[in-house]
Amino acid sequence: MRPAERRQAILEVLCQRRHQTVQNLASEFGVSMRTVGYDVEALSLSYPIETVCGRYGGGVKLADWYHPRKSILSQEQQTVLTQLLDKADESQRRVLLEMLTAFGSPVARTRAATLSLNQ
């Protein structure tokens, strides 16, 4: 994977997870922590990426206000998708959770993550 591709992938991971440790990113992309540091530094020139120090809760974080997708679901759409979860079969439930995670508000993403853990 080239640096530009890896940086784009790191940004996508941060958009989905909002927060990740440097060690986890290095492991996921098969590079050193120093390389992830360089990538984060390069990304932070164009995107609102923050680094947070600390053993617990430290790492790389995307600013809470930043949502790169313009097609974020409205509150009504999120409510309907959440209500459909109860009536969906397993494969439909997986797709609905992916939609809520990818396009929902931070609250909807948290709820979708909680629901996916309870499956």
Q: What domains can be seen in the chain, in order of their start residue?
A: 3-62 (1.10.10.10), 75-117 (no CATH)
Q: What is the pLDDT of residue 109?
A: 66
- 81 Cβ partners below 8 Å, 6+ apart? 73, 96, 99, 100, 104
- 9-34: per-residue pLDDT in tens? 999 999 888 899 999 999 999 999 99
pLDDT in tens, 34-83: 999 999 999 999 999 998 888 887 899 998 888 776 567 888 888 898 88
Give residue 97's pLDDT.
86
Q: What predicted TM-score, i.e. pTM, was given to this entire model? A: 0.58
